[in-house]
Chains A and B, each alone.
Chain A
Amino acid sequence: MLASQLGYYSLILGLIFSFILIFFATKELTSPSKRVDQNIIILSFLQLFFVVVSFLCLIFSFVNSDFSNETVFNNSHTAKPLFYKISGTWGNHEGSLLLWLLVLTLFIFLFIIKSNNQPKKYRILTLLFQQIIIVGFFLFLLVTSNPFNYLFPVPNEGLGLNPILQDPALAIHPPILYLGYVGSSIIFSASLAAVIQNYINSEWAKHIKKWVLISWIFLSIGIMLGSIWAYYELGWGGFWFWDPVENVSLMPWLTLTALLHCILVLERRLLLMSWVVILSIASFTLSMCGTFLVRSGILNSVHTFANDPARGIFILIFLFILIFLSLGIFFVFHNEKNKDSKNFFWLSKETTILLNNWFMMYFLSVVLIGTLYPIFLDVISSDKISVGPPFYHKLIVPFLAPFLIFMVFGSKLKWIKSEISNKNLLIIFFTISIIISFLVTKNFQVDLFLYTILIGTSLFLFFTTTVEFFNKKKILSQTVAHFGFSLFVLSILLNNITSSEVTTNMKVGERYKYDEGVIFFQKIEEKKESNFNSIVGHFKITNNRGDIFSLKPELRIYNQPIIVTSEADIKTTLLKDNFLVMNTVKGNEYFNIRYQVKPFMLWIWISVLLISFGGMISFLRVKNEK
């Protein structure tokens, strides 16, 4: 009750600080002093402080199960464990927007105190643009989705958090993903400020690089956490479903990846400046677009918290204001007068990075079209279609092969003008990769040509990056990230062709023989937890190689709200995952059993971590250079 009031008024204070900041910052733009006024830093801090207070108040209401707060009532329950009470704070529309706002204000504060060596006007302009975004979010929160709405009479009990969201990976997935999404707002504001100040140069590239890296690292890990959750919780045994909401997080990742590489060029030569600016704008607008698609209820998915068109219209208008603002600034102020006069030499690192951009743009347009086309079609012709994995696989997979080959050469080339060294070694590697790939692929019933090429090229990248580790002049971050990527593609491909699945109905005490072994359903056991009751199945699996292991999948019956979820049991080993999930068959003593052997699953996660780790190495190096 008190916490709700405090939280609400803190939000209003935060908004007021935004206006004061905008006022001071505009004044500061014309002042002759070379240093940023200390007041601005203090005001920024106060704004951050009040948003933090508001956020803590919401957490406090959740922890105390204060059901006079509508958000708490709708998303919490007294029987929930403390951990999920806290994570419930951002597991809903209002709370997650408050988290957005928190990260926005945190990042601009960090930006202001960490950019002392940058030109003053540029810093002030960045602050101004960021404040425009912040004001937008404050208004959105206060007008359409106030997290502190008061309920009277006070209900005795809350409606509970959707059980499939009660999961450790999912509890930390939103904050991490948001750090990535919102981090791109700083890049957006900074690039607009730099365009106005005509400050798109190597100096700026060095400074903005660490922000790009932060967003990119968090976005990568955030996407991975969501994917891990989908893998074990949704019980379908896959890790990426090309669901619109997953796509929406992938799109800014693609532009950020392209941006990261462009920045590397800009650090050394005044090239690709328009690319850098457009990619910076695109990363944030795509993040916003994602928020719009997810939050407006225009798409249906697990992430759709709000089916309220008023909210959708607000974000939509705000999104387009930002797009038009940035476009206007880009067309009016951007010029490439001081562009490097020397052009691209065809065999240089720059050229391969430009190529990388075009690949990324291609992947981006495939994902964008696949995600938006159904909406467009629905509005124009009222046809309802859904674009599924085959679309993406057909359009993306064939292009991976040339992409991987360019990655091999790109990292070997030098800046400006280069030639390929060790040609013979590369040819040998390539031949070996293709041969190994052919020998592996022909044992499986898959498209021999396509898979030979794909596995061959990823092996090629794998070998060359492995050798690169022993090179004294290597760029460690790049080698780690590219090695991670080759491992990533390789694990997905191998996982794809070697996975096997058994589906059957069984009852307790029954044995089921399949091609590679026997599944024995030993018994079921019932358990009671505070927020759910569960039925645990005990299974023993003996395969033809004589391995014996037991798996215990669960059926959980959550009490608030009443939802049955099935928890897969997964035995993860270095080389493969054994995945077992059971479901009830209605009105029957039989259970539906799905047993999957999924090799190299662990390596998919490890490789994403390696890719992000590459980014971290680069980030630390940028910090140490200063």
Chain B
Amino acid sequence: MKNKIYLSAIVIFLIFCFVIFYNGLNRSNVYTPKINQKQNLPKFEAKDFYSDKNITSEELFKEDIFYVVNIWASWCVPCRKEHKFLMELSKNENIKIIGLNYKDNLNNAKNFINELGNPYSKNLTDKNGLLSIEFGAYGVPETFIINKRKIIVNKFIGPINKKTLNQIRKIIK
């Protein structure tokens, strides 16, 4: 009798633990630290992806709209996954997406765009990766949101998914 009480108590407790863990798993535990200081956009000069002409940041971000800067590469497997979300985002006419092609082979990168579509209004080459460092990137892919006052208001580390896409939509509203 005593044993049965023990057993049922333990079983109930374990089921409770299971439920907690199960729910815990589905919670995101990626704490993106809140950025308290909004960063100013770095000033730079970079080569255009297609024309190979120099272009300055002032020219690039001259319009009074939201910009999304996306760092990508054809060799980056998660970039492939996030591309369709970028395509979806590019349908929004109130923003422009600027691509930053990170340490890539030009031909592979062009094939990548031809295959999956071009969401970028402008694409820049970042052959040695220095420009990405200017932006404060950790790796590829990474996405920055720049507001009308040319301040980086948000950044997303890692590939964009449905959830982050909705977040971005909220920000640019």
Known: A299-B29, A331-B7, A378-B27. A320 touches B14 (CB 8 A): yes
Shortest distance in angstroms between A334's beta carbon and chain B's nearest beta carbon? 10
Q: Which residues of B contact A375 (CB under 8 A)?
A: 20-21, 24
B18–A379 CB distance below 8 A: no
Q: Within the assembled complex, what's the spacing in Å between the Cα atoms of A156 and B10?
A: 54
Q: Which residues of B contact A309 (CB under 8 A)?
A: 25-26
- In the assembled complex, B75 has its CB within 8 A of some CB on chain A: yes
In residues 283-341 of chain A, which contact B (Cβ within 8 Å)?
Answer: 292, 296-300, 307, 309, 312-313, 316, 320, 323-324, 327, 331
Known: A156-B75, A157-B75, A320-B14. A298 touches B29 (CB 8 A): yes
- In the assembled complex, A376 has its CB within 8 A of some CB on chain B: yes
- In the assembled complex, A561 has its CB within 8 A of some CB on chain B: yes
A307–B30 CB distance below 8 A: yes
A313–B20 CB distance below 8 A: no
Q: Within the assembled complex, what's the spacing in Å between the Cα atoms of A316 and B26?
A: 12
Known: A156-B75, A375-B20. A296 touches B11 (CB 8 A): no
How many interface contacts (CB-CB < 8 Å) are there between A and B? 58
B31–A379 CB distance below 8 A: no
- In the assembled complex, B139 has its CB within 8 A of some CB on chain A: yes
- From the candidates B3, B11, B31, name the one contacting A300 in the complex (CB within 8 A): B31
Shortest distance in angstroms between A281's beta carbon and chain B's nearest beta carbon? 12
Q: How large is the interface on B (under 10, 10 to 19, 20 to 34, 35 or more residues)?
A: 20 to 34
Q: Which residues of B contact A575 (CB under 8 A)?
A: none
Q: Which residues of B contact A298 (CB under 8 A)?
A: 21, 24-25, 29
Q: Which residues of A contact B21 (CB under 8 A)?
A: 292, 298, 316, 375
B75–A379 CB distance below 8 A: no
What 1/0 flags go to B2-23 for Cβ under 8 Å of A? 0100010011001000101111
Q: Within the assembled complex, what's the spacing in Å between the Cα atoms of A270 and B75?
A: 64
In residues 482-523 of chain A, which contact B (Cβ within 8 Å)?
Answer: none
A297–B29 CB distance below 8 A: yes
Shortest distance in angstroms between B2's beta carbon and chain A's nearest beta carbon? 11
Known: A155-B75, A298-B29. A320 touches B23 (CB 8 A): no
Q: Which residues of B contact A450 (CB under 8 A)?
A: none
Q: Which residues of B contact A313 (CB under 8 A)?
A: 22, 25
Shortest distance in angstroms between A183's beta carbon and chain B's nearest beta carbon? 25
> Binding site of B, secondary structure by majority: helix, strand, loop or mixed?
helix
What 1/0 flags go to B23-66 for Cβ under 8 Å of A? 11111011100000000000000000000000000000000000
Closest to A563 in B: B138
Q: How large is the interface on A (under 10, 10 to 19, 20 to 34, 35 or more residues)?
A: 20 to 34
A316–B129 CB distance below 8 A: no
Q: Within the assembled complex, what's the spacing in Å between the Cα atoms of A320 and B133?
A: 45
- In the assembled complex, B77 has its CB within 8 A of some CB on chain A: yes
Shortest distance in angstroms between A117's beta carbon and chain B's nearest beta carbon? 34
Q: Within the assembled complex, what's the spacing in Å between the Cα atoms of A157 and B133?
A: 20
A327–B11 CB distance below 8 A: yes
Q: Which residues of A contact B139 (CB under 8 A)?
A: 159, 561
A378–B24 CB distance below 8 A: yes
In residues 256-297 of chain A, which contact B (Cβ within 8 Å)?
Answer: 292, 296-297
- In the assembled complex, A428 has its CB within 8 A of some CB on chain B: no
- From the candidates B10, B11, B18, B75, name the one contacting A316 in the complex (CB within 8 A): B18
What 1/0 flags go to B129-169 for Cβ under 8 Å of A? 10001000001000000000000000000000000000000
Known: A151-B77, A156-B75, A157-B75. A324 touches B22 (CB 8 A): no
Given A298-B21, A327-B11, 10 more A-B residue pairs with CB atoms under 8 Å apart are A155-B77, A157-B75, A292-B21, A296-B25, A300-B31, A309-B26, A316-B18, A331-B3, A379-B23, A562-B133
Jot down 8 A-B pairs with beta carbons below 8 A, ordered by A: A70-B77, A155-B77, A307-B30, A309-B25, A331-B3, A376-B20, A379-B24, A384-B31
Q: Point out residues on B near A: beta carbons under 8 Å.
A: 3, 7, 10-11, 14, 18, 20-27, 29-31, 75, 77, 105, 129, 133, 139
Complex A-B, nearest 5 residue pairs according to Cβ-Cβ distance, in ascending order: A312-B25, A155-B75, A379-B23, A309-B25, A379-B24
